[in-house]
Amino acid sequence: MKIERMVVLGLPAAALAGLILFTYFSYRDDMIAAEARVSIGSQIVDTPCGPIEYALIGKGTPVLLAHGAGGGFDQGLEFGRPLAERGFTVIAMSRFGYLRTPMPADASPAAQAAAHACLLDALKLPRAAILGGSAGAPSAIEFCLRHAKRCSAMALLVPAFFPPGAPPARPSFMSDAILGSDFFFWVNMKLARDTVLERLFATPARDFHNAPREEQERVLRIMRGALPLSRRRKGLWNDLAIVASSPRYELERISSPTLVIGIEDDLFGIYRSSRSAAERIPGARFASFPTGGHLWVGRQDEVVSELTGFLNQPAAGKRAEFIRRAPSISARRDPRTRSRAPLKSLHRNQARFPCCREFRSSWCTCRPRPASCRN
């Protein structure tokens, strides 16, 4: 009887030990793969602004890609590959504190903008368009302000900056804990993916589940691509500090053709600041989508189409234009989405939106909006 009891009690212990071993080896294998992924495909150039890691893909008009928080050259390649496939040379750099680009004493957006110019010098490129994604927007803005002659065009994709008086919410304790550890991030990715998606990547889980399979896979690549966080942590904390400080940008002085893309249900709450930025930049074009979150899940083709159209014809950005895309069919059927009116009701409601001068089957174009339309 005593022996049988020992055997029974030993089963949970054996199962727990097996689970621990499985978790350890799974984590180890994923981290080895992540380290291998960021160890190839890039190079480092010494510049007056310090060493800068970068990668080049594609052939055509140069586009410098300033990645977002938690990124690096690898995230830049993920975001920039569709542009490279459409006839652009994508320069995907690791900004200050990310991967093999060191963190200098001055890592302000202005200093990062100087590093952008230094990288172009090293590549012998007199000018380039710049794409600032999320937390890469501040340095992209400063680049076009401080090095205007070298900025042929600027695109801001879900730009993570806030107007004065509207600072972002502070990260929660859980967010701090997850971002501070490769293992905690990995475990939460496995056990609480939807929570990580919403709290750290600001993308509604319902948008993810409503998206096509290929879009879900793209978002999962981006989430997994944050590893190893330990090699991005200095840059990540620096980006969070910059965004939280709500710096004032002299957007009215930007002379480059500009496109700003915002997502209405971005859980970082930056949609209004994105629209406000577009209104302040002379002649900027603003394109918005009702769903998709910070990672624009389900909107990849539309976002890439906006970017390529703008970059192929940068002069079009000189005309003030506001574009609001209609929700996808799946989003319109979801009663939880904010845009519940059927698409054809846009025509019936034209009198309610005097700012819209033209209605089409899937979007309306407004230029420039009177104060009564800026809700």
On whether the CB atoms of residues 266 and 297 are closer than 8 A, the answer is no
Given this model, what pLDDT does residue 92 score? 98
Q: Tell me: pLDDT of 311 over 90.
A: yes
In the block, residue with structure tokens 């080049």: 56
Given this model, what pLDDT does residue 11 score? 53
* From 6-15, 37-46, 95-104, 154-163, the region with the lowest mean pLDDT: 6-15
* From 18-22, 118-122, 300-304, the region with the lowest mean pLDDT: 18-22
Question: What are the percentages of helix, strand and coil residues in the chain, rounded to 5?
Answer: 50, 15, 35
**Is cis: bond before 342, omega within 30 of 0?**
no
Q: Burial letters for 36-68: b for 16+ Cβ neighbours within 10 Å, e otherwise?
A: eebeeebeeeebebeebbbbbbbeebbbbbbbb
* From 216-225, 290-299, 316-325, the region with the lowest mean pLDDT: 316-325
Q: Tell me: pLDDT of 96 over 90.
A: yes
At residue 47 the predicted structure's pLDDT band, cuts being 50, 70 and 90, is very high
**Average pLDDT of every residue of the chain:** 82
Predicted TM-score (pTM) of this structure:
0.79
Which residues neighbour 183 within 8 Å (Cβ) at sequence distance 6 or greater? 27
Distance, in Å, from the CA atom of 278 to the CA atom of 203, rounded to the nearest integer, reads 22
